[in-house]
Amino acid sequence: MKRRETLKSLLVGGIAGTAAVGMGALSCKADQQVESVETPEVSSEVYGRTPAEIKHDEKINSQICYNEHQLTTIAVLCDIILPPTPTAGGANEAKVPEFIEFISKDLSTYHELPIKGGLMWLDGESNTRFNKEFVKCNSKEQIAIIDDIAYPDPKNENPQMDQGRAFFNKMRDLTLTGYYTTKMGIDDLGYVGNRPNMWDGVPQDVLDKHGLAYDKDWMPKFIDHEKSQDIAEWDENGNLLT
């Protein structure tokens, strides 16, 4: 399985698990009374953003987190983690570095310091091996470092690589999150949302197993795809006409 396909399968599995938990929670509370919540005013300038959220975004965007060299290194890492393919754009095309910069400022306690420390570690490791910064290395040299922190060998553990591994895990998580929450990423997953389907009734083998059968007179009335868009009509006695 290709790397991008592996990442996609892990992501979809995580989404499915989260959705299942959410649906379970909703079903448990279906019979409980839910208090009404006043819907906040939504600004027409940015769809789906409240004035308070827009003000917060403006504050975050006005701050400076990473310098030019750090942003360039982040962009290189994003491209290594999720490069473009013939059928889908890469992380940089989806503006994932901008997402990482924003979330680093928004949740600085969790991201800014670990990422800055990781970038420093990466350049230090690159200078030790190749006597130059990571972004100035060629592709083969960059991958040599990344392979050691992305796919560590359990038989050859090196404590000096622990910071690099933790840093790369964070970068990989943020890159996937940033990419697969964009339209480009959703298109790459092939997710189309809820769509109407065609139901052909309970399979015959299941009916046979339980000793059941459909009334032949009713079959054309509720399993006829050509009439799927027709509105049902009933007579005054409650009998289905169409």
List pLDDT tens digits, range 145-200.
999 999 877 777 788 899 999 999 999 999 999 999 999 999 998 887 777 667 77
What's the predicted TM-score (pTM) here? 0.64
Predicted local distance difference test score (pLDDT) of residue 22: 40
Reported as a single tens digit per residue, the pLDDT across 59-70 is 998 999 999 999
Q: How far is CA 214 from CA 18, 174, 219, 220, 225, in A?
A: 37, 52, 7, 11, 17
Element (H, E) at 177: helix 162-179
Please report which confidence band the pLDDT of residue 3 belongs to, taking 50, 70 and 90 as the band edges: low
Burial class (CB in 10 A: 0-12, 13-18, 19+), 186: middle
- Sorted by where each begins, the domain ranges of the chain are 3-11+46-189, 200-242
Q: Mean pLDDT, to the nearest integer, of 42-52?
A: 67
- Which range has highest mean pLDDT (5-19, 73-87, 154-168)? 73-87
Nearest-5° angle of CA 44, CA 46, CA 52? 90
**Residue appearing with tokens 């490791």:** 125
